Structure 1
Amino acid sequence: MTRTLAIAAAAVLVVALAALYFLTVGSGSDDRFAQCREGKVGGGAEIGGPFTLVDENGETVTDQDVIDKPALIYFGYTFCPDVCPLDMSRNVEAVEVLEERGRMVKPVFISVDPERDTPEMLTDFTDNLHPRLLGLTGSPEQIRAASQAYRTYYQKQEPEEGDEDYYLVDHSTFTYLVLPEIGFVEFFRRDIGPDRMADRVECFMDAM
């Protein structure tokens, strides 16, 4: 039942993002990034925004500190058994492709599991994936505020009987492209490969 509710919540999120597109970009407004979009859901002022979180070094940072260059932002958790490592591996591979083309993009991982994802846990996770991958955590309230700003979904599942420290977290799996001084411009689903993601990110950067 919980898994069904999670799937339903993810479907509702896609519909909500689509609605935001038609209310902002898709309703005849001037969209400088139109040629970069493949789907009908794109940037809009209603997605993204200010946040305050804690980085891997235990330092408090804001969205202005984090988004100092084009960034690919993903919400997940370090104990995720499969989805997060695969998605983040794809993201950092796209970042490496872009770097080979002379384009610097920052990969960012925001935890939705503040109970377990300490700065130390994030450091271990990010160091294993990419030297420039930035991990962010924070208080439950800070995480919730960041998640709400980006219209993401997450829900902690009941822990295993007798092991309160082991539990899964259902969460949405979009990757968000955010540009400095512009904000959110696009999100990517799981089915896009690293090369195609790099191509599309480069298109947005060219149109800045």
Structure 2
Amino acid sequence: MRRLAPLLALCLAAGGAASETPAPAPFPIALGGPFTLTDQSGAPRTEAAPGADLQLVFFGYANCRSICAVALPTMAAAADTLAAGGIDARPVMITVDPDHDTVATIGPPLARFHPAFEGLTGSAADLKPVYDLFAVEHEVLFTDPSGQPVYAHGSHIYLLDGDGAFLTLLPPILGLDRIAEIAKGYVRR
């Protein structure tokens, strides 16, 4: 037993260390960068969210009934969960449908998910460099019976810090607790 005591002590010490969240590894490809778009109030909005610890950014469209219906509520719930822990995480959607998601129309659908949800839009020319920065692909698949386009687009949530630096990608299927846990790991205080 005496010979096992040092090994047992080492295992117990290692087990305690594992409960601390390690510093996240850098993402293997460069994503993100400076941009300026227009928010739902008509004000310019850059990649930075002054005062925020984190940003949960999604590329979609306000009237999407597919993956956006999973990602946007998850982002809203994650923002609330993080806020309960003292972390200001802003939910942001950047449109892939600038013809329909205008300053006048993008805000109300997003407000149904969370009052702090920010919708960013602009012209196709304004948005193209942002799509390139984040490696976003999208295309119109078809037009629904009401005449609205239905897009194929990504499903990942981009986690940015408050200054707009890209941190990691979060699949919305991870679930709220795991998304919040990962996001917390990027906040250094």
TM-score between both structures, scaled by the size of structure 2: 0.80
Structure 1: give runs of 5+ residues left out of the alignment.
1-32
> Structure 1 residue aligned with 2:33, among 43, 49, 68?
49
> Structure 2 residue aligned with 1:197, among 168, 173, 179?
179
8 A Cα contact 2:47 2:164, kept in partner: no
1:131 to 1:175, Cα distance in 2 relative to 1, 3 A = same
Q: Does 1:137 align with 2:125?
A: no
Q: Does 1:99 align with 2:87?
A: no
> Structure 1 residue aligned with 2:68, among 65, 76, 84?
84
- Given residue 24 of structure 2, which amino acid in structure 1 is its aligned partner? C
Structure 2 residue matching 1:191: 3-state secondary structure: helix
Alpha-carbon distance in 1 for matches of 2:87, 2:72 = 18
8 A Cα contact 1:109 1:135, kept in partner: yes
- Given residue 143 of structure 1, which amino acid in structure 2 is its aligned partner? L
Match of 2:108 in 1: 124
Task: Point out the structure with max Rg over C-alpha.
Answer: 2
8 A Cα contact 1:44 1:184, kept in partner: no
Q: Which runs of 4+ in 1 moved over 3 A?
A: 33-37
Greater Cα shift, 79-88 or 196-205? 79-88
Pick the structure with more strand per residue: 2
Alpha-carbon distance in 1 for matches of 2:92, 2:114 = 10
CA deviation profile, 1:70-127 (whole Å, cap 9, x unmatched): 1111000012112102111011101111111111111111110001011222111121
Alpha-carbon distance in 2 for matches of 1:88, 1:95 = 11
Match of 1:187 in 2: 169
1:93 to 1:105, Cα distance in 2 relative to 1, 3 A = same
Q: Does 1:169 align with 2:151?
A: yes
1:80 to 1:192, Cα distance in 2 relative to 1, 3 A = same
Structure 2: give runs of 5+ residues left out of the alignment.
1-20
CA deviation profile, 1:14-67 (whole Å, cap 9, x unmatched): xxxxxxxxxxxxxxxxxxx96436xxxx53672000112110011222223x46
8 A Cα contact 1:45 1:184, kept in partner: no
Alpha-carbon distance in 2 for matches of 1:192, 1:97 = 15
Aligned pairs for 1:4-43 within 5 A: 35-36=23-24, 42-43=26-27
Structure 2 residue matching 1:93: 3-state secondary structure: helix
Structure 1 residue matching 2:187: 3-state secondary structure: helix
Q: Identical aligned pairs, as a percentage? A: 24
- Given residue 165 of structure 2, which amino acid in structure 1 is its aligned partner? G
TM-score between both structures, scaled by the size of structure 1: 0.73
Count, aligned residues: 168
